[in-house]
Amino acid sequence: MSKRVDVKTKSPAELEELCSDIRDKILKVVSKNGGHLSSTLGATEIIVAMHKVFDSQKDPFIFDVSHQAYAHKLLTGRWDEFETLRQFNGICGYTKPSESSDDYFVAGHSSTSISLGVGAAKAIALKGEEDSRIPVVLIGDGSMTAGMVYEALNELGDRKYPMIIILNDNEMSISKPIGAMSRILSSAMASPLYQRFKRNTESFVDNFGDGARYLAKRMEESLKLITPGVLFEEMGIDYIGPVDGHNLTQLIDIMQTAKSLKKPVLIHAQTLKGKGYEIAEGHEEKWHGVGPFDIKDGHSLKKASLKSATQIYTESLLHLCEHNDKIVGVTAAMPSGTGLSPLMEKYPNRFWDVAIAEQHAVTSMSALAKEGFKPFCTIYSTFLQRAYDQVIHDACIMDLPIVFALDRAGIVGEDGETHQGVFDVSFLRAIPNMTLFAPRDEKSFHQAMAFAAEYEHPCSLRYPRGSFIESALPESAVFELAKAQLLVENDSNILFIGYGNGVGRAYETAKELDEKVALLDLRFVKPLDEEMLKTLAQKHKKWFVFSDTAKSGGVGSAILEFLAKEKIMDISVESFEYDDAFITHGNTKVIEESLALLPIQLAQRVKASIL
């Protein structure tokens, strides 16, 4: 590891220079490797101030989502290693305790930080360490849209544990400061003089009974009404702000004051997305997360590729909407990533972004389904995990015709463990009334969407990040419930069973073999095409399963359960799904190679199995 940056001994001028160096480093590495950019550039001064005032070796530094924690990584012994950001065996794009003891917790999904802070504060109190440790939370304004934040704030305000919450507001989504008076009052409320005055006044009015306390309270509330922090104050959390999130000296002073209060304090800091890189400055969504780009002009260096599965989904859904005005849809803060932006533009009254609120997304669509509409819940596979109760309780128990369109199913690459979309088949297959299916290519995707639009029960279709694996296979047949498609039929003892993107992988693997193999596009993993499988079991005795899903509870498990139920005992089944372990970050092909899942590696595994 590189040497830690000693922030505490640096002068204000040296700290300003350090912020500039950090931005240059982040920009150079992200332009080469890809990663999160605009938010993390904007948070630079906040993070430097955090390290100046607090100690990440003992104070829990908790970053929400943690995509804005790059400056923290650079300050805590990872300056040289930062060149490997998001690369296989390199620095993770999120906080990761196994990477550094300065990273308090794994984070990749949003809105968990304040809950973690409350838990850490409880532990600190139980250990009697309140005088030497305090949780410090950095949360972005986008994360404030999830209900979990307010559950945590509710308890924190009641229990009054010492804790610092820094709200990085780079979109002014919480509230806009009301003129010069607001800024003056915010600065005044952050000063040690005001805090001493407040404490002394509280003590003084206590001696004069309820009348004096009432008048003092009304006066303070009158001041708060022209500041944006009334919500937090009403919840029992001291509010300071809004403050300039790029004024390093002011940030340090305010954090020192907040630390001395020994109570829960929220510091509302306003920052500029992309600060320091003019092309990215502002609110453009495209600079939130980026691939490699040319620093000079901001142009992407990513080579043109095949049409992505997300693009196919968008085209298909637009076509369906033109012929069915009952189709509606929702996404949770990912309109661009899920391809729903064109739908929201064309049909603003039928498609919604509900912010980071997957639970609300599913339940609200359940009511629309109850009212006769056809909702498409368009959510990344990894994020549907957050709405599992709602899928069961609100969609499936009611047997409502909701389509769960799961983007980025399978390995997603550089985002790593928290984002790999490998569990959806395992956790959805167990739910009654749920139907699961997957397309293998562009034609079958359109057919799967047409089936989904007419299906009258809950269903889920999954598709990969990027493009499908190309294959020169027979054209896809029309999707029918629980009907597989036999793509290659012969007298071979070997049967390859592909599901979704696994069909292309199975085909590529077959090309690496000298032996003939039969190939089945399973299409539906729930319900299975049992008649087809019974027929194939009479001829092919060695089955190999190809799917971008977890092995535990996955496609292979479904097939083994079927064989056991039917008491078919002479079939051997080997699954090439993902083993029972979290999958690290890195280039998708490199990860697949490390898991022995490239076609040439799979062919070797097949050969070894049939010997």
Please, is 222 exposed, middle or buried when counting C-beta atoms within 10 Å of its C-beta (0-12, 13-18, 19+)? exposed
> How far, rounded to the nearest angstrom, does the alpha carbon of residue 493 sit from its chain's CA centroid?
43
Strand partners, 502: none
150 vs 210: CA distance, rounded Å: 31
211 vs 203: CA distance, rounded Å: 14
Q: Among all chains, which residue has been given the structure tokens 């369109």?
A: 405
Residue 74: closest CA among 10, 8, 15, 26: 26
Per the residue annotation, which of 275, 386, 523, 551 is the catalytic one?
A: 386
Residues with Cβ < 8 Å from 1, sequence gap 6 or more?
A: 77, 78, 81, 100
Give alpha helix (H) positions in 54-206.
70-75, 113-127, 147-159, 179-190, 192-206
Is residue 273 annotated as part of the catalytic site, yes or no?
yes
Quote the tokens at residue 67: 């995509």
Per the residue annotation, which of 45, 99, 358, 508 is the catalytic one?
A: 358
Please, is 503 exposed, middle or buried when counting C-beta atoms within 10 Å of its C-beta (0-12, 13-18, 19+)? buried
Amino acid making up residue 589: K
Q: Among all chains, which residue has been given the structure tokens 């040439």?
A: 600
Amino acid making up residue 607: K
Is the Cα dihedral 556, 378, 285, 95 positive or negative? negative
Return the ∠ at Cα 266 (arms to 166 and 38), rounded to 5°: 25
| Torsion-angle region of 160 (φ positive above 0: left; ψ -120 to 50: alpha; else: beta) | left
Residue 35: closest CA among 232, 239, 290: 290
Is the Cα dihedral 397, 387, 402, 330 positive or negative? positive
Cβ(546)–Cβ(374) under 8 Å? no
229 vs 209: CA distance, rounded Å: 28
Per the residue annotation, which of 133, 273, 523, 526 is the catalytic one?
A: 273
370 vs 432: CA distance, rounded Å: 18
Active site positions, annotated: 273, 358, 386
